[in-house]
Amino acid sequence: MPELPEVETVMRGLAPAMEGTVIRAAAVNRPDLRWPFPERMAERLAGRRVLQLRRRSKYILADLDSGESLLIHLGMSGRMTVSGDPLGRFVHEHGAAQKHDHVVFDMENGARITFNDPRRFGAMDLLPTLTAESHPLLAALGPEPLGNQFDGAYLADRLKARRSPIKTALLDQHVVAGLGNIYVCETLYRARISPARRCDRIATTRLAALVPIIRQVLLDAIEAGGSSLKDFRQADGELGYFQHSFDVYGREGAPCRTEGCAGSIRRLVQSGRSSFYCPQCQR
Protein backbone atom coordinates (compact mmCIF):
# COMPACT_ATOMS: atom_id res chain seq x y z
CA MET A 1 0.00 0.00 0.00
CA PRO A 2 1.38 3.46 -0.85
CA GLU A 3 2.67 5.29 2.20
CA LEU A 4 2.98 9.01 2.88
CA PRO A 5 5.83 9.72 0.40
CA GLU A 6 4.02 7.96 -2.45
CA VAL A 7 0.75 9.80 -1.78
CA GLU A 8 2.59 13.13 -1.45
CA THR A 9 4.38 12.44 -4.74
CA VAL A 10 1.10 11.70 -6.53
CA MET A 11 -0.55 14.80 -5.08
CA ARG A 12 2.32 17.03 -6.20
CA GLY A 13 2.16 15.48 -9.65
CA LEU A 14 -1.59 16.09 -9.97
CA ALA A 15 -1.51 19.67 -8.71
CA PRO A 16 -0.29 21.41 -11.93
CA ALA A 17 -3.04 19.76 -13.97
CA MET A 18 -5.87 20.13 -11.45
CA GLU A 19 -5.46 23.10 -9.14
CA GLY A 20 -7.38 26.16 -10.31
CA THR A 21 -8.97 24.20 -13.15
CA VAL A 22 -12.58 23.14 -13.74
CA ILE A 23 -13.50 19.47 -14.04
CA ARG A 24 -15.20 19.61 -17.45
CA ALA A 25 -16.54 16.06 -17.20
CA ALA A 26 -16.29 13.15 -14.77
CA ALA A 27 -16.86 9.51 -15.66
CA VAL A 28 -17.53 6.93 -12.94
CA ASN A 29 -17.36 3.53 -14.60
CA ARG A 30 -18.52 1.23 -11.80
CA PRO A 31 -20.69 1.61 -8.68
CA ASP A 32 -17.99 1.02 -6.12
CA LEU A 33 -14.39 0.35 -5.21
CA ARG A 34 -13.63 -0.55 -1.61
CA TRP A 35 -17.07 0.86 -0.82
CA PRO A 36 -19.81 2.44 -2.97
CA PHE A 37 -19.09 5.78 -4.59
CA PRO A 38 -21.15 8.69 -3.22
CA GLU A 39 -24.50 9.33 -4.86
CA ARG A 40 -24.40 11.32 -8.10
CA MET A 41 -20.62 11.59 -7.82
CA ALA A 42 -20.01 12.37 -11.49
CA GLU A 43 -22.76 15.00 -11.51
CA ARG A 44 -21.45 16.63 -8.31
CA LEU A 45 -17.93 16.86 -9.72
CA ALA A 46 -18.67 18.05 -13.25
CA GLY A 47 -18.32 21.81 -13.64
CA ARG A 48 -16.60 22.28 -10.28
CA ARG A 49 -13.29 24.09 -9.96
CA VAL A 50 -10.51 22.44 -7.95
CA LEU A 51 -9.35 25.09 -5.49
CA GLN A 52 -6.46 23.11 -4.03
CA LEU A 53 -5.08 19.65 -3.46
CA ARG A 54 -3.84 18.63 -0.04
CA ARG A 55 -2.78 15.48 1.73
CA ARG A 56 -3.87 14.11 5.10
CA SER A 57 -1.97 10.98 6.08
CA LYS A 58 -2.35 8.60 3.13
CA TYR A 59 -5.36 10.44 1.68
CA ILE A 60 -5.52 13.10 -1.03
CA LEU A 61 -8.22 15.75 -0.70
CA ALA A 62 -9.32 17.95 -3.59
CA ASP A 63 -11.18 21.02 -2.29
CA LEU A 64 -13.85 22.17 -4.75
CA ASP A 65 -15.64 25.49 -5.24
CA SER A 66 -18.91 23.71 -4.36
CA GLY A 67 -17.87 23.54 -0.71
CA GLU A 68 -17.22 19.81 -0.99
CA SER A 69 -13.91 17.95 -1.00
CA LEU A 70 -13.14 14.79 -2.93
CA LEU A 71 -11.32 12.32 -0.68
CA ILE A 72 -9.11 9.81 -2.50
CA HIS A 73 -7.34 6.73 -1.21
CA LEU A 74 -5.14 4.76 -3.60
CA GLY A 75 -5.60 1.44 -1.82
CA MET A 76 -3.22 -1.39 -2.68
CA SER A 77 -2.91 -0.92 -6.43
CA GLY A 78 -4.54 2.41 -7.28
CA ARG A 79 -2.83 4.85 -9.65
CA MET A 80 -3.77 8.39 -10.62
CA THR A 81 -2.04 9.41 -13.82
CA VAL A 82 -2.19 12.53 -15.99
CA SER A 83 -2.26 12.68 -19.76
CA GLY A 84 -2.60 15.54 -22.22
CA ASP A 85 -1.47 18.27 -19.81
CA PRO A 86 -1.19 21.53 -21.79
CA LEU A 87 1.42 22.92 -19.40
CA GLY A 88 3.96 20.57 -20.92
CA ARG A 89 4.81 18.74 -17.71
CA PHE A 90 3.37 15.45 -18.97
CA VAL A 91 4.28 14.09 -22.37
CA HIS A 92 1.70 11.29 -22.49
CA GLU A 93 -1.19 11.63 -24.92
CA HIS A 94 -4.59 10.30 -23.90
CA GLY A 95 -4.35 6.54 -24.21
CA ALA A 96 -7.04 4.01 -24.95
CA ALA A 97 -9.32 3.22 -22.03
CA GLN A 98 -8.09 0.34 -19.88
CA LYS A 99 -10.11 -2.34 -18.11
CA HIS A 100 -9.52 -0.93 -14.63
CA ASP A 101 -9.94 2.78 -15.41
CA HIS A 102 -12.70 3.24 -12.83
CA VAL A 103 -12.85 7.06 -12.58
CA VAL A 104 -11.77 9.58 -15.22
CA PHE A 105 -11.67 13.38 -14.92
CA ASP A 106 -11.42 15.48 -18.08
CA MET A 107 -10.17 18.90 -17.06
CA GLU A 108 -11.04 22.16 -18.81
CA ASN A 109 -7.34 22.74 -19.58
CA GLY A 110 -7.14 19.56 -21.65
CA ALA A 111 -5.62 17.31 -19.01
CA ARG A 112 -7.13 13.93 -18.20
CA ILE A 113 -6.78 12.34 -14.77
CA THR A 114 -7.37 8.58 -14.70
CA PHE A 115 -7.83 6.51 -11.57
CA ASN A 116 -6.91 2.91 -12.36
CA ASP A 117 -7.18 0.26 -9.64
CA PRO A 118 -6.99 -3.44 -10.59
CA ARG A 119 -7.52 -4.74 -7.07
CA ARG A 120 -10.25 -2.19 -6.20
CA PHE A 121 -9.06 -1.51 -2.65
CA GLY A 122 -8.99 2.21 -3.37
CA ALA A 123 -11.77 4.59 -2.39
CA MET A 124 -13.34 7.96 -3.10
CA ASP A 125 -15.82 10.00 -1.11
CA LEU A 126 -17.33 13.48 -1.17
CA LEU A 127 -17.54 15.39 2.10
CA PRO A 128 -18.09 18.98 3.26
CA THR A 129 -14.78 20.83 3.16
CA LEU A 130 -15.39 22.74 6.39
CA THR A 131 -15.88 19.53 8.40
CA ALA A 132 -13.46 17.28 6.51
CA GLU A 133 -11.33 16.61 9.56
CA SER A 134 -14.31 15.01 11.30
CA HIS A 135 -14.78 12.42 8.54
CA PRO A 136 -14.56 8.92 10.06
CA LEU A 137 -11.38 8.15 8.11
CA LEU A 138 -9.62 11.30 9.30
CA ALA A 139 -11.00 12.15 12.72
CA ALA A 140 -8.76 9.89 14.82
CA LEU A 141 -5.50 10.41 12.92
CA GLY A 142 -2.43 11.66 14.75
CA PRO A 143 -0.39 14.68 13.66
CA GLU A 144 1.39 14.87 10.33
CA PRO A 145 5.07 13.83 10.68
CA LEU A 146 6.14 16.79 8.54
CA GLY A 147 3.93 19.26 10.44
CA ASN A 148 4.65 21.57 13.35
CA GLN A 149 2.50 19.61 15.82
CA PHE A 150 4.81 16.64 15.55
CA ASP A 151 7.87 17.27 17.67
CA GLY A 152 10.16 15.45 20.07
CA ALA A 153 8.23 16.35 23.20
CA TYR A 154 4.98 15.09 21.71
CA LEU A 155 6.41 11.77 20.51
CA ALA A 156 8.27 11.05 23.74
CA ASP A 157 5.15 11.77 25.77
CA ARG A 158 2.99 9.48 23.61
CA LEU A 159 5.42 6.58 23.64
CA LYS A 160 7.34 6.63 26.91
CA ALA A 161 4.82 4.51 28.85
CA ARG A 162 3.82 2.13 26.06
CA ARG A 163 4.83 -1.50 26.48
CA SER A 164 4.46 -2.35 22.80
CA PRO A 165 7.45 -2.63 20.45
CA ILE A 166 8.59 0.68 18.98
CA LYS A 167 7.87 -0.59 15.45
CA THR A 168 4.24 -1.27 16.34
CA ALA A 169 3.86 2.09 18.07
CA LEU A 170 5.16 4.07 15.10
CA LEU A 171 2.73 2.29 12.78
CA ASP A 172 -0.18 3.37 15.00
CA GLN A 173 -1.95 6.05 12.94
CA HIS A 174 -3.34 7.56 16.16
CA VAL A 175 0.23 8.41 17.21
CA VAL A 176 1.51 9.76 13.91
CA ALA A 177 -0.31 9.81 10.58
CA GLY A 178 1.00 8.35 7.36
CA LEU A 179 3.91 6.18 8.45
CA GLY A 180 3.96 2.67 7.02
CA ASN A 181 6.09 -0.42 7.20
CA ILE A 182 8.83 0.62 4.78
CA TYR A 183 9.64 3.99 6.29
CA VAL A 184 9.42 2.85 9.90
CA CYS A 185 11.98 0.12 9.13
CA GLU A 186 14.27 2.67 7.52
CA THR A 187 13.79 5.15 10.37
CA LEU A 188 14.64 2.64 13.08
CA TYR A 189 17.77 1.60 11.20
CA ARG A 190 18.98 5.19 11.02
CA ALA A 191 18.13 5.63 14.71
CA ARG A 192 19.95 2.38 15.63
CA ILE A 193 16.90 1.11 17.55
CA SER A 194 15.70 -2.47 17.29
CA PRO A 195 12.12 -2.77 16.00
CA ALA A 196 11.44 -5.23 18.83
CA ARG A 197 12.51 -2.92 21.66
CA ARG A 198 9.64 -1.87 23.91
CA CYS A 199 8.86 1.84 23.98
CA ASP A 200 9.02 2.04 27.77
CA ARG A 201 12.59 0.70 27.63
CA ILE A 202 13.84 3.44 25.32
CA ALA A 203 15.16 6.66 26.84
CA THR A 204 12.89 9.64 26.25
CA THR A 205 15.79 11.45 24.62
CA ARG A 206 16.08 8.66 22.03
CA LEU A 207 12.32 8.72 21.45
CA ALA A 208 12.40 12.48 20.90
CA ALA A 209 15.38 12.12 18.57
CA LEU A 210 13.27 9.94 16.26
CA VAL A 211 11.36 12.99 14.98
CA PRO A 212 14.07 14.54 12.79
CA ILE A 213 15.03 11.08 11.53
CA ILE A 214 11.44 10.31 10.54
CA ARG A 215 11.21 13.61 8.72
CA GLN A 216 14.47 13.11 6.87
CA VAL A 217 13.55 9.58 5.75
CA LEU A 218 10.22 10.86 4.41
CA LEU A 219 11.80 13.86 2.67
CA ASP A 220 14.45 11.64 1.08
CA ALA A 221 11.71 9.33 -0.21
CA ILE A 222 9.60 12.19 -1.55
CA GLU A 223 12.60 13.64 -3.36
CA ALA A 224 13.14 10.22 -4.99
CA GLY A 225 9.51 10.03 -6.10
CA GLY A 226 8.50 7.43 -3.53
CA SER A 227 9.12 3.68 -3.63
CA SER A 228 7.86 1.43 -6.44
CA LEU A 229 7.77 -2.17 -5.25
CA LYS A 230 4.76 -3.52 -7.17
CA ASP A 231 2.05 -1.20 -8.45
CA PHE A 232 3.02 2.34 -7.49
CA ARG A 233 3.52 4.91 -10.23
CA GLN A 234 3.93 8.67 -10.06
CA ALA A 235 1.30 10.91 -11.69
CA ASP A 236 3.30 10.96 -14.93
CA GLY A 237 3.39 7.16 -14.97
CA GLU A 238 7.04 6.91 -13.95
CA LEU A 239 8.40 4.69 -11.20
CA GLY A 240 9.58 5.97 -7.86
CA TYR A 241 13.26 5.35 -7.07
CA PHE A 242 13.65 5.34 -3.28
CA GLN A 243 13.64 1.51 -3.23
CA HIS A 244 17.18 1.67 -4.61
CA SER A 245 18.22 3.48 -1.42
CA PHE A 246 16.73 1.10 1.14
CA ASP A 247 19.17 0.35 3.93
CA VAL A 248 17.20 -2.55 5.42
CA TYR A 249 13.74 -2.99 3.91
CA GLY A 250 13.58 -6.10 1.74
CA ARG A 251 17.31 -6.80 2.21
CA GLU A 252 17.14 -9.95 4.38
CA GLY A 253 20.51 -11.70 4.38
CA ALA A 254 22.34 -8.78 2.76
CA PRO A 255 25.29 -7.17 4.55
CA CYS A 256 24.64 -4.19 6.79
CA ARG A 257 25.61 -0.92 5.13
CA THR A 258 26.99 0.65 8.29
CA GLU A 259 30.73 1.11 7.91
CA GLY A 260 32.63 -1.34 10.08
CA CYS A 261 29.58 -3.51 10.82
CA ALA A 262 29.97 -7.21 10.04
CA GLY A 263 26.29 -7.98 10.58
CA SER A 264 23.65 -8.87 8.02
CA ILE A 265 20.03 -7.80 7.71
CA ARG A 266 17.45 -10.02 9.38
CA ARG A 267 13.68 -10.23 9.06
CA LEU A 268 11.32 -10.34 12.03
CA VAL A 269 7.56 -10.77 11.73
CA GLN A 270 5.63 -8.38 13.97
CA SER A 271 1.83 -8.26 13.93
CA GLY A 272 1.85 -9.97 10.56
CA ARG A 273 4.32 -7.52 8.99
CA SER A 274 7.96 -8.01 8.15
CA SER A 275 10.48 -5.89 10.01
CA PHE A 276 13.98 -5.65 8.56
CA TYR A 277 16.88 -4.66 10.80
CA CYS A 278 20.53 -5.19 11.63
CA PRO A 279 20.88 -6.97 15.01
CA GLN A 280 24.43 -5.64 15.37
CA CYS A 281 23.60 -1.95 14.87
CA GLN A 282 20.08 -1.80 16.25
CA ARG A 283 19.64 -2.49 19.93
93 is catalytic: no
Question: Between the ranges 93-107, 234-248, 253-267, where is the mean pLDDT highest?
Answer: 253-267
Give all strands (DSSP E) within the chain, no chain letters: 23-28, 50-56, 59-64, 68-73, 79-83, 101-107, 112-116, 123-128, 266-270, 273-277
* Average pLDDT for the chain: 91
| Alpha-carbon gap, residue 18 to 79, rounded angstroms | 16
pLDDT per position as a tens digit, 13-52: 899 999 999 999 999 999 999 999 999 999 999 999 999 9
**pTM, whole model, 2 decimals?**
0.90
Find the catalytic residue in 24, 267, 273, 279.
273
pLDDT digits (tens, 9 = 90+) for 39-89: 999 999 999 999 999 999 999 999 999 999 999 999 988 889 998 866 555
The boundaries of every CATH 3.20.190.10 domain in the chain are: 4-134
Tens of pLDDT, residue by residue over 201-230, are 999 999 999 999 999 999 999 988 777 555
Q: How far apart are CA 267 and CA 98, in angstroms?
A: 38
* Annotated catalytic residue within 3, 6, 8, 186: 3
97: confidence class by pLDDT, cuts 50, 70, 90: confident
Mean pLDDT of the 192-205 span: 98
Residue 162: active-site member = no
User: 58, 190, 233, 251: which is the annotated catalytic residue?
Assistant: 58
DSSP state of 200: G
- State in words which class domain 152-277 has: mainly alpha
Task: Provide the CATH topology of domain 4-134.
Answer: N-terminal domain of MutM-like DNA repair proteins (3.20.190)
| Positions of CATH 1.10.8.50 in the chain | 152-277
